Structure 1
Amino acid sequence: MHRPAARETPSRRRVLRGAGALAVLGAAGAGGCTLTRVLSPPVDPRTVVPLFSQSVAYDASGTRQLVGVEGAKASLDPGTRLLTAVPEDAPARERAEQFLTGTAAWSERLAAAHPERPELHDLAGSAPADLWVLTDQLAAPVAGWSRNWRFVWPRDAAFAAVALARIGHPDRAVEILAHLQSLQAVDGWYEARYVPGTDRAPDDRARQFDGTGLVLWAVQEVAGTLPEDRRVAVTDRLAALIGTSQRVLLASTGDGEVMPPVSPDYWEVHERSVTLGIMAATLAGLRAGADLTGEGRARRAADSFTTLLTGTFGAHGYQRHRRGGGADSALAFLDATGCHGIVPTAQLLSLREELARPAGGIAPGASWKDDGISWTPSTSLLALALARSGRPAEAGDLLTWLAQHRTAAGSLPEKVLFDGRPAAVAPLAWTAANVLLALDALAGS
């Protein structure tokens, strides 16, 4: 995937040539960040990834553009993903204001819950702006706006839909899920990613089984934010997705008795055996399907699969693979998706030490290459898991770290280098969604 990826191919990781100070972009919104950054001294080039952009914003023509790319000069309106040149009566500005109005009640609840944590309030302003600019007027959010990230990943879109529903935009969340329903193959699988607005994959990347479980989990989460009458209408609308996903999850696991199919997971590399990430996503889907349908068979399958997970991966310390591979941030998928009580809290907490990177975030896994880079999708997923499992202090610490390592424009990047500099894509939809869901959990939603 766009992140994490164990091997960065030229088509997805282009090293920018040349060096030079970043342009002064003007005043940004979140956290009172300034858009001027001083370059650090030269470091080992094997551990450095450039920052592709400071953010993404609409320009005066109503077109999204990368902000802060080399040679570009532009300024953002504070707290927005709009350039200052955007007219007051521009449709993009009107849509942005409507979005912010929809999140106002959620923001107020967060502020009331944590008046002593201003950095969380800043994050609660910038993360929605990041998610909005990657979702606005699209059938589903794209992962990022840099060229090789401008695709719809079902996994990212599932988390984004849940986040949007939680922060005050359930209708938009349902539309995203309806689009994902239209993309699902008849056998229940999803492509790794899609060209926006189409059902076409941009390349021959292998399909991924985790999308099936995570999208079904997203349906259950979004439906749970709605009043009962609306919930019934939404589940009726998404009946094909619910039925197809549950059918393939039950069939592929022998009603929870056997391992799911071998598939790439969020690392997006070829696998020879089932990973913890696939197991966690499958369990999330089985449990969601049981809750949505109320079927006894589905509930029994979810219980059986829980026993299978604990007796296989759990017997060997919940490593990346059944009997090895070391710690994996996929462990956080369990509590992040509501599968509580399976992993000891102490083991979840230990991920921050086992996968620690110099700047303070974590790597995707212990077997990841030793390049010193923190990955914000994994770090934010851990924050979400801790927030939802009743560890607000530790979750808050991770969210504070994320807030402190945004770009100068206030956007959440994909990576943070060993010396604390944001790197690669910014903003990233999955990270923004994880952050919003973690904040939502801390607000006691």
Structure 2
Amino acid sequence: MDRGARSRRALIRGAVLAPLATAVGWGAWRLAFSPRPQPTLLSEGVVVGAGGVVRPLPPGASCRFEPGTRVPAADPAAAAEGGAGRASSAGRADDSAAATAAGGGVLSDEERTALVRAARERVAGAALPGGRWAGAARDALADLLALIGPVLADADGSDPISYPAGAVVAGPVSAWRYVWPRDASFAAAALSAVGLDDEALTVLEHLAALQGVDGGFEARYTAAGTVPDDRPAQLDGTGWVMWAAGRVLGAARPDVDRPDADRVEGRLGVCLRRCASRLLELTDGPHRLPPVSPDYWEVAEGRLTLDTAMSVLLGLEAAARLVAAGLDLGAEGEATAARAVQVRAAIEGGFAPGWGRHRGDDDVDAAIALTAPPFTAALRGAVEVRRGARERMARVSGGVGPGSSWRDDGVSWTPETALLAWSAAALGAGGETGLAAEADELLDWLVDRRTGVGALPEKVAADGSPAGPAPLAWTCSLLLLALCESDRGR
């Protein structure tokens, strides 16, 4: 991004405070004096430095990159080449020094050339959306790939950690330096959506290596594949992995041939058969609904959430489509189609008409997006609730919170905002004109709230400034999926 674009973002963030005093009124005053501190930015982005090590940029740091990569540019002018108006061309006169410090040392011309070549080989053949969001798509893909299988340094100066091929690190700093099966599944889907099938399959193969013998997944994993703490397992992981496999292997992808079937033999094939068996086991009760489990809110739950229920349904439907397309998932796979019908009916019976976060309630959350395209055929009454979801989840910073019952501290969460954008783009393409406009608004908002180096943060504070880790792999994936959907619908 040039200085004009940087100034535009600063104006946008500053302008958020004006509505606080007028349109929001008392609510804004309450936020201003809330005892809960507002989140701050933990990293500006990432840079690929000496030895190919990925390092977090400290908040406020500036760096110019070689186009389409996260390798610092040798010549600051190079970052603008072929990318006028791109967010990732942001910088100041001290870009070179900042990049050198963050990158762990001076890059020789030879090493820089090798790193750029490797980065561009990874994206060769990618089909990215065009139009006004082309630069944002390019940056999101560069950041996502930088977080997959990296040698990742920490901001504290400790030795870099090597992650296995296909390991999707949620974020570059602090408590985000883990692999969440949910985030990784969306990364695989996004990579497949832009045509990087080998990368997507590598992500699925790493997830297969993490899977338990019962077909389940833990909440998150370390670089070594171990569990970092006593956080309980999250049941939605199995459904999301199967859902992602359905997209990657072509059962839900338009106009693209399935990848080589040989890639689904061995460990990945075992993983998918275990997933099918696990999904049947989770819905084997008389009511055909899965047990209560924590989900993407990362809090203890006493009641079944819509995310957990829908992830299981989406996994069953994906398994049924894969079997219909000729993939052998064993006897369990053959049973998934009938079970999916039963689970769909059970979800409608338990969550309609309110379609809230919890069974029987109407406290809508971002999982409402899962009840209709692009995830599945719309469940009974769900689209009507989806139409009003953004307004009910809105935050003063312009995006949405995780749900209407989440604390209203003014903070927007970018994964949930991007998920609604993807949902709105798909439904808009199907004739929901109001949601088509919503998709454009949310996508513009996400793109404008990136950091100075074009990275997508996890949150946006009440004053409009980026917060949390940047980039966040889940948001990168969801933005790519939403942009691809929006591009197809035009």
Q: Deviations over 1:34-64 (max 9, x none)?
A: 7996997995462411101110111234322
- 2:464 aligned partner, one-letter code: G
How far 1:417 moved relative to its partner? 1.2
Say which of 438, 460, 464 aligns to 1:416.
Answer: 460
1:171 aligns with 2:198: yes
CA 1:93/1:29 → structure 2, altered by over 3 Å: closer, same or farther? Answer: farther
- 1:12 aligned residue: none
The whole-number CA distance in structure 1 between the counterparts of 2:198 and 2:414 is 27
CA 1:35/1:345 → structure 2, altered by over 3 Å: closer, same or farther? Answer: closer
Question: SS state of the match for residue 263, structure 1?
Answer: coil
The whole-number CA distance in structure 2 between the counterparts of 1:174 and 1:29 is 36
Q: What does residue range 47-126 of structure 1 map to in structure 2 within 5 Å? A: 47-69=37-59, 75-77=64-66, 79-84=68-73, 85=100, 86-90=107-111, 91-103=114-126, 106-107=127-128, 110-111=129-130, 115=131, 118=132, 120-126=133-139
1:134 aligns with 2:178: no
- 1:102 aligned partner, one-letter code: G
Q: What does residue range 300-319 of structure 1 map to in structure 2 within 5 Å? A: 300-315=338-353, 317-319=354-356
- 1:192 aligned residue: 219
The whole-number CA distance in structure 2 between the counterparts of 1:245 and 1:424 is 33
- 2:264 aligned partner, one-letter code: T
- 1:24 aligned residue: none
Say which of 302, 306, 319 aligns to 1:276.
Answer: 306
1:180 aligns with 2:207: yes
- 1:402 aligned partner, one-letter code: L
The whole-number CA distance in structure 2 between the counterparts of 1:393 and 1:214 is 28
Q: Deviations over 1:365-400 (max 9, x none)?
A: 111112110000100011111222335432222111
Q: Deviations over 1:57-102 (max 9, x none)?
A: 11234322111336x6655445532223544432432222223433
- 1:331 aligned residue: 368
1:153 aligns with 2:159: no
The whole-number CA distance in structure 1 between the counterparts of 2:124 and 2:216 is 36
Q: CA RMSD in A?
A: 2.7
How far 1:338 moved relative to its partner? 2.0
Q: What does residue range 162-311 of structure 1 map to in structure 2 within 5 Å? A: 162-196=189-223, 198-224=224-250, 225=253, 230-237=259-266, 238-254=268-284, 257-294=287-324, 297-311=335-349
The whole-number CA distance in structure 1 between the counterparts of 2:483 and 2:37 is 31
1:363 aligns with 2:401: yes
- 1:265 aligned partner, one-letter code: D
Question: SS state of the match for residue 97, structure 1?
Answer: helix
Q: What does residue range 350-389 of structure 1 map to in structure 2 within 5 Å? A: 350-389=388-427
The whole-number CA distance in structure 2 between the counterparts of 1:143 and 1:186 is 24
Give yes or no for contact 1:255–1:301 (8 Å, CA) kept in 2. Answer: no
CA 1:204/1:35 → structure 2, altered by over 3 Å: closer, same or farther? Answer: farther
- 1:298 aligned partner, one-letter code: T
Say which of 408, 414, 431 aligns to 2:475.
Answer: 431
Unpaired segments ≥5 residues, structure 2: 18-30, 74-99, 101-106, 151-164, 325-332, 430-434
- 1:430 aligned partner, one-letter code: W
How far 1:168 moved relative to its partner? 2.3
Q: What does residue range 16-55 of structure 1 map to in structure 2 within 5 Å? A: 32-33=5-6, 44=33, 46-55=36-45
The whole-number CA distance in structure 2 between the counterparts of 1:100 and 1:251 is 39
Give yes or no for contact 2:143–2:473 (8 Å, CA) kept in 1. Answer: yes
Question: SS state of the match for residue 173, structure 1?
Answer: helix
How far 1:139 moved relative to its partner? 2.9
1:395 aligns with 2:439: yes
How far 1:143 moved relative to its partner? 0.3
The whole-number CA distance in structure 2 between the counterparts of 1:431 and 1:180 is 19
Give yes or no for contact 1:263–1:278 (8 Å, CA) kept in 2. Answer: yes
CA 1:179/1:234 → structure 2, altered by over 3 Å: closer, same or farther? Answer: same
The whole-number CA distance in structure 2 between the counterparts of 1:125 and 1:31 is 20
CA 1:425/1:83 → structure 2, altered by over 3 Å: closer, same or farther? Answer: same
The whole-number CA distance in structure 2 between the counterparts of 1:160 and 1:49 is 25
The whole-number CA distance in structure 1 between the counterparts of 2:357 and 2:310 is 11
The whole-number CA distance in structure 2 between the counterparts of 1:431 and 1:444 is 20
Question: SS state of the match for residue 230, structure 1?
Answer: coil
Give yes or no for contact 2:350–2:359 (8 Å, CA) kept in 1. Answer: yes
The whole-number CA distance in structure 1 between the counterparts of 2:289 and 2:300 is 17
CA 1:397/1:73 → structure 2, altered by over 3 Å: closer, same or farther? Answer: closer
* TM-score (normalised: structure 2): 0.76
Q: Deviations over 1:156-205 (max 9, x none)?
A: 00000111111121001101101111111111110111112x22011111
Give yes or no for contact 1:253–1:259 (8 Å, CA) kept in 2. Answer: yes
- 2:475 aligned partner, one-letter code: T
- 2:438 aligned partner, one-letter code: E
The whole-number CA distance in structure 1 between the counterparts of 2:38 and 2:374 is 33
Give yes or no for contact 1:31–1:123 (8 Å, CA) kept in 2. Answer: no
Q: Deviations over 1:267-319 (max 9, x none)?
A: 0111112111101101110101111123553111101111001111114x111
Identity %: 37
Aligned length: 405
How far 1:326 moved relative to its partner? 0.8
1:143 aligns with 2:170: yes
- 1:83 aligned partner, one-letter code: P
Question: SS state of the match for residue 388, structure 1?
Answer: helix
Unpaired segments ≥5 residues, structure 1: 1-27
The whole-number CA distance in structure 2 between the counterparts of 1:61 and 1:185 is 34
